[in-house]
């Protein structure tokens, strides 16, 4: 596989990933004087809400690892002259940063 470059397609995918992440934050972030939309789903069906939350988390991890790997291999490896990483290493980075941020 040849060297990939950052192009419009990659930037579009990254944009939609960030849009997805912001949508998740919108669902879970409480607002003053009213509940987040997530709480309405949780109040009506806690089991379904937990299932949806787990699904959202899995999508964020899998998609985030794929985008992290692509970003690293397309940009960081070229700019800083470091080796490319595998999907498993990207997954580890995403999980590590998630732990550090929380």
In tens, the pLDDT along 23-66 reads 888 888 776 666 777 788 888 998 998 899 889 988 988 999 99
Mean pLDDT calculated for residue range 9-35:
79
Provide the pLDDT for residue 31: 67
Residue 1 lies in a domain: no
Give the domain range for residue 65. 8-101
The answer to whether residue 64 is domain-embedded is: yes
- Locate 18 and state its tokens: 């960030």
2 part of a folded domain: no
Tell me the pTM. 0.66
Identify whether 96 is part of a domain: yes
CA distance 39 to 67: 30
Compute the mean pLDDT over every residue in the chain, rounded to the nearest whole number: 83
Number of domains in the chain: 1
- 76 pLDDT more than 70: yes
Distance CA 5, CA 82 (A): 16
Position 52 in a domain? yes
- Cα–Cα nearest to 70, from 58, 54, 83, 86: 86
SS3 of residue 55 by DSSP: helix
Looking at residue 73, its pLDDT comes to 92
């Amino acid at each position: 596989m040849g060297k990939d470059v950052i192009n419009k397609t990659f930037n579009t995918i990254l944009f939609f990933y960030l849009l997805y992440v912001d949508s998740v934050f919108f669902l879970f972030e409480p607002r003053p004087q009213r509940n987040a939309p997530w709480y309405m789903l949780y109040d009506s069906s806690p089991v379904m809400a937990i299932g949806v939350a787990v699904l959202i988390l899995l999508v964020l991890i899998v998609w985030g690892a794929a985008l992290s790997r692509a970003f690293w291999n397309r940009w960081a490896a070229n700019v800083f002259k470091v080796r490319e990483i595998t999907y498993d290493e990207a997954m580890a980075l995403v999980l590590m940063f998630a732990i550090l941020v929380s």
